[in-house]
Amino acid sequence: MTVLAALGALVTLTLAAVIAGTFFAFSVSVLPGLGTLGAEPAVAAMRGMNAKILNPLFLTPFVAVPVTAALTGVALLALGHRAAAVAFLAAALLYLLGAFLPTAVVNVPLNEALAGGAADGPERAAALWAEFAPRWTRANALRTVAAVGTVALTGLGLLLWPRG
């Protein structure tokens, strides 16, 4: 059980860091960079990114983080390491509420609306982008903070795990 808990902790830390970095990159470079292009190319580029991100390299870590964190927390509880377990369970909860939920409730619906909206001409593209970018960026900032917090709680769990 100790080996499984250690493996779960390592997988959680790694995958949460991958997702936090992905969200962070979108917050600090992708969306601001798209905003410099003008609405038509920004809409086209975001549509392309939204289509390409739906792949196992993104979806596996995105979905696995709360699962591995929760399983690690349960294993640590079974091993009697309560403080470390609580940190991992808190990481799972933070990720679910702060990263997974906003994605499902805000980012994905905005992506779908952007994909389905006709961007015929600069005026329509400008309207689509004006509706999309601010809300998507705010939700992504929340996801970023939650994912970074998940990494921090996972690290805390590792620090609290008794040695020996």
**pLDDT above 70 for 163:** no
Predicted confidence at residue 1, as pLDDT, reads 75
Predicted confidence at residue 119, as pLDDT, reads 64
Predicted confidence at residue 123, as pLDDT, reads 87
The domain total for the chain is 1
Cα–Cα distance for residue pair 152/145, rounded to 1 Å: 10
Chain segment 12-45, per-residue pLDDT in tens: 999 999 999 999 999 999 999 999 999 999 999 9
Tokens of 64: 């696995």
Q: What percent of the chain has pLDDT over 90?
A: 89
**pLDDT above 90 for 164:** no
**pLDDT above 70 for 86:** yes
pTM confidence score: 0.93
pLDDT tier at 81, thresholds 50, 70, 90:
very high
Mean pLDDT of 100-122: 89
For residue 123, give its domain range: 2-160
